[in-house]
Structure 1
Amino acid sequence: MNKGLLIFCLLLTGTAEAQKYNSTKGSISFLSDALIEDIAAENTAALAILDASSRQLAFSVPVNEFQFEKKLMQAHFNEKYLETEKYPKATFQGSLSDFSMTSKASQQVTAKGKLTIHGVTKDVQIPGTLLIDAKSEIKINAAFVVALKDYNVKIPKLLWENIAEEVNVKIDFTLQPK
């Protein structure tokens, strides 16, 4: 985890000549669509940075900042499933496929890199869109599925109908030039 934080900080402190963008607003949300109930949460405390010249992208998500409709769900999420005292952050470190900094049209991109959740790191490819608006802000949107077993998130047998084995994740970020 410290290695990931170090890399994230290095990305934040790069040279002034690079085309660096960092998040000003954004959210990461998820939906567990299970048989008995849906569980949804949103996190607006995540950070993102993009070095447009090298196409390097990083996210850091304080896991305990996910907000749920029901406080008991939030407590169980933090204590029993994601164990946020032990694993306080989820991160992504990787790069975006080719995109044009001069295009004002929505561009299809793929983020390839390492996603770390619950202390487990996996190689991922996440499809999404990138749009550069008139204010030179970069908007990044993506939707992907996370299999809980891939990240050693255990679902008690008693609750298998309450919690989906795969969770739908959405990312919406607006990044401004640094």
Structure 2
Amino acid sequence: MKSLKILLTCMLLSMFSYSQGKFLTKQGYTSFFSSSPVEDITADNNQVLSIIDTASSKIAISMLMKSFMFEKSLMQEHFNENYVESDIYPKAIFKGEILKFSELDGNNKKATIVGDITIHGVTKKIEIHSTISKTENSIKLSGSFSIRVADFNIEIPKVVVNNISETIKVTFELDHKPYRK
């Protein structure tokens, strides 16, 4: 009987630790899309790091700007050297909170994420509407939002101002798994 109590206690503690733990992905996906009268520009990044602390509903996302891949290598070079200046500002970072996180159990629930996004050394408050699917072994987030290039002090040379939209659509998919040390 005593060993049964110990076994049940261990099982409850392990279930509690999963529900109150951290979930991580190192291979999240994000992309951005710029549409202009001259051309459309798309870039993908499959090396997005994200962690969710289920106890506090906090989320942190980090990505290397040089990990964005473009269809044309010259676009990628211009993006890193002239626009986001990846050698000076190597990462984009988001720190925030998933509102009402504990109420969002199940699949395809609407979630609001609020926090600070830092790009090109500039931090702005942002609210993101997303979809969340939560199980014991996975927390999936997906969604999109728009940012204005000028808000992050990214200068577009006049010679290509018609090639790049003032507003960029950012899309993300993050599949977090339980973090085990």
- Alignment TM class, shorter chain as reference: 0.7 to 0.9
Q: Are the counterparts in 2 of residues 147 and 165 from structure 1 also a CA contact under 8 Å?
A: yes
The Cα offsets for residues 138-162 of structure 1, whole Å up to 9 and x where unpaired, read as: 1100200010000001111111110
Structure number with the higher helix fraction is: 2
1:29 corresponds in structure 2 to: 31
Equivalent runs, 1:90-101 vs 2, <5 Å: 90-100=92-102
Secondary structure (helix, strand or coil) at the match of 1:35 reads coil
- The TM-score normalised by the length of structure 1 is 0.86
> Which residue in the other structure is 1:20 paired with?
22
Unaligned runs of 5+ in 2: 1-16
Selected match of 2:58 from 56, 79, 85: 56
**1:83-129 superposed Cα distances (whole Å, 9 cap, x missing partner):** 00000000000101113477223211111111000000001111101
Counterpart residue identity of residue 111, structure 1: I
Aligned length: 163
CA–CA distance in structure 2, aligned partners of residues 23 and 125 of structure 1: 21
8 Å CA contact retained: 2:19, 2:54: no
CA contact (8 A) 1:109 1:127 kept: yes
- In the aligned structure 1, how far is the partner of 2:116 from the partner of 2:40? 28
Match of 1:116 in 2: 118
RMSD over equivalenced CA pairs, Å? 1.8
Percent sequence identity over matched residues?
A: 37
Classify the secondary structure of the residue corresponding to 2:123: strand
* Paired position in structure 1 for 2:91: 89
Rounded to whole Å, the distance in 2 between the matches of 1:58 and 1:38 is 29
Give the stretch that moved more between structures: 50-59 or 96-105.
96-105
Ranges of 4+ aligned residues in structure 1 off by more than 2 Å: 15-18, 99-103
Name the aligned partner's letter for residue 131 of structure 2: T
TM-score by length of 2: 0.85
**Residue pairs, 1:165-176, within 5 angstroms:** 165-176=166-177
Q: Identify the residue that residue 154 of structure 2 maps to in structure 1.
A: 153
Q: Give the superposition deviation at 1:26.
A: 1.8
Letter in 2 for 1:32: S
